[in-house]
Structure 1
Amino acid sequence: MTATIARMQRANRGTQFRAYRLHGADPAQLDPFMGIDAWMSAPTFPPHPHAGFSAVTYLFLDSETGIANRDSQGNRTLIEPGGLHWTAAGRGVVHEENPAVLGSTTHLLQIFVNLPEDRQTEAPFALTLRPQDVPVVQRPGARVRVPLGSFGGVRSPLTPPTDVTLLDVTLEENAELEVTVPAGQRAFFMPVFGSAEIDGQSFGLDDLGAPITPTGADATAHRLVAKAGSAKVAVFIGKPLEQPVLSNGPMAFASRDNLAAAAAAYHRGDMGSL
């Protein structure tokens, strides 16, 4: 099956904030993911609420500094380069993220993952994966870190509330990697550095293209190839939840009543503060 090339957007703010965003025009397009923001400078996320879904931060190994994460549940975490932090917002939490060393460059993914409807009103909680605990798969000319899900016979030790896979793929020039998408799941491929091909279709940051594969009844194998130099690609795989997505921005629920209740709880201060 041929992948659809979706368009990413630049979301730069001044000279210190360079961002690339992938958010589907239709919420079903990326399901169970809700959007990906890739920052390649020194972002700051002041205290803000989330509810109904999960906010996941993954730092690439080349990040010059970590991210200091704290939330209104009392969690305090330093996300190191190569590490991942998963905030399951549930019925609501306030959190904040800042570079651990101000002025240093961070290189990260901010990933928004939907929660199954029956878990959207649960108490919030956080999961953390240290860089040294991320499994790594080596292939000829390719290195794959597996912070979420599984690949090549290895599985991440993290068990999040939504079962998804994240692969951090580095390819040498002309190297090939086969990525299998299980039956009933979809995948998308987000360029991080360089350009690549998937099943013969080119994509990269030059054209801000991100291939999205259709959901199939059978498992499908896709051929990822680096062209004209090395490339880094983030691969996202998951089974669509196929539930409504009603959002007011920082909150998203399958139920309009739950969305309204979460917004009211935040304004009452029930989610806590920082």
Structure 2
Amino acid sequence: MNLSSHFRAYSLRGDGPSGEPIDPILGVDHAWISAPQFPAHPHAGFSAVSYLFLDSETGIDNRDSLGNHNIIQPGGLHWTAAGRGVVHEEFPVEKGKTVHTLQIFVNLSEERQQNAPFALSLEPSDVPVVDGSGTKVRVPLGTFGGAKSPLETPTELILLDIALEDGAELCVPIIPGNTAFVMPIHGTLAVNGQIFEHAKFAVPAFPEQQTVHEVILSAPKGNAKAVLFSGSPLRQPVYWQGPMAMASTAALASAIAAYQHGEFGTLDSPIMTTTHL
């Protein structure tokens, strides 16, 4: 766990040369942020995605070197596809209030890593919600229960924000061949019958070699909350350096050189409007 007076986060990173077992995701930070923590920084080769939980006390002021500038509200999502390079910055709108967020790093296919960067934004009111017996599922990305997120993203990904009342159970089908994992957010959660306490921040993962057709979540000891991720693995190498990740060492070296030569742009660019869906 990363910890400071204004920032604490549980961090998950893919292991192995291709990011298994969470490919196409490279990493997730489940974070609480109450003051600016990170100066403007570059990204290249993947998508930086911010999802704010509904219990966030304030939003995130988001801007990038493409000229996008918007507020990510509690319950909203912002997707920055860095492609060949972008400079990005986010910080809480109201000082002293806490943002409760997921910072998600989603890999791009090798051919998309050289594409021009762009951004997508999803307002809280546009996130589909599926109500069940003692369950409520928000669908910021992908599909579930007949609901489909309006975002069309460069890497296909399902993200479900799941609330379970005491004793409730939810079955989530998994597309054959997809990876899937669950992040407990609070409470006691059972995943396919195995108990996970949030205090341990266990992250049950389902490797590619294990055939998974469904994930059954339940709340055996009071209300619980979890996030489920599922996606089609890219199965490509990942070479990291700081906030850049490419599919080859040559591409990574090229991205670093491009940033050093100012080719990612700056945050002083004229402000334009982010694409909203």
- Tell me what 1:105 maps to: 98
Question: Is 1:11 the equivalent of 2:7?
Answer: no
Q: Distance in 1 between matches of 2:65 and 2:125?
A: 27
Question: Is 1:23 the equivalent of 2:16?
Answer: no
Q: Distance in 1 between matches of 2:261 and 2:200?
A: 45
TM-score, length basis structure 2: 0.92
> Are the counterparts in 1 of residues 14 and 25 from structure 2 also a CA contact under 8 Å?
no
Structure 2 residue matching 1:90: 3-state secondary structure: coil
Identity of aligned residues (%): 54
> Are the counterparts in 2 of residues 197 and 225 from structure 1 also a CA contact under 8 Å?
yes
Amino acid aligned to 2:11: R
Structure 2 residue matching 1:215: 3-state secondary structure: coil
Q: Distance in 2 between matches of 1:219 and 1:153?
A: 20
Q: Distance in 1 between matches of 2:246 and 2:109?
A: 9
User: How many residue pairs were aligned?
Assistant: 264
Question: Is 1:53 the equivalent of 2:46?
Answer: yes
Q: In the TM superposition, what is the alpha-carbon distance from 1:191 to its structure 2 partner? A: 1.0
Q: Distance in 1 between matches of 2:68 and 2:79?
A: 12
> Are the counterparts in 1 of residues 239 and 247 from structure 2 also a CA contact under 8 Å?
yes
Q: In the TM superposition, what is the alpha-carbon distance from 1:43 to its structure 2 partner? A: 4.9
Q: Distance in 2 between matches of 1:196 and 1:24?
A: 22
Q: What are the superposed Cα offsets for residues 35-90 of structure 1, whole Å, 9 maximum, x if unpaired?
A: 00011232533200000000000000110110000000100011000000000000
- Tell me what 2:273 maps to: none
Amino acid aligned to 1:204: E
RMSD (Å), alpha carbons: 1.3
Q: What are the superposed Cα offsets for residues 125-183 of structure 1, whole Å, 9 maximum, x if unpaired?
A: 00000000000000101000000000001100000000000000000111100011111
> Are the counterparts in 1 of residues 50 and 77 from structure 2 also a CA contact under 8 Å?
yes
Question: Is 1:234 the equivalent of 2:224?
Answer: no
2:27 aligned residue (20, 25, 35): 35
- Tell me what 1:63 maps to: 56
> Are the counterparts in 2 of residues 183 and 215 from structure 1 also a CA contact under 8 Å?
no
TM-score, length basis structure 1: 0.93
Unaligned runs of 5+ in 1: 1-9
Choose 210-219 or 192-201, whichever is displaced more. 210-219
> Are the counterparts in 2 of residues 182 and 218 from structure 1 also a CA contact under 8 Å?
no
Q: In the TM superposition, what is the alpha-carbon distance from 1:228 to its structure 2 partner? A: 1.4
Amino acid aligned to 1:11: N
Counterparts of 1:137-152 in structure 2 under 5 Å? 137-152=130-145
Summarize the Cα distance change of 1:108–1:158 in structure 2 as closer, same or farther, 3 Å threshold: same
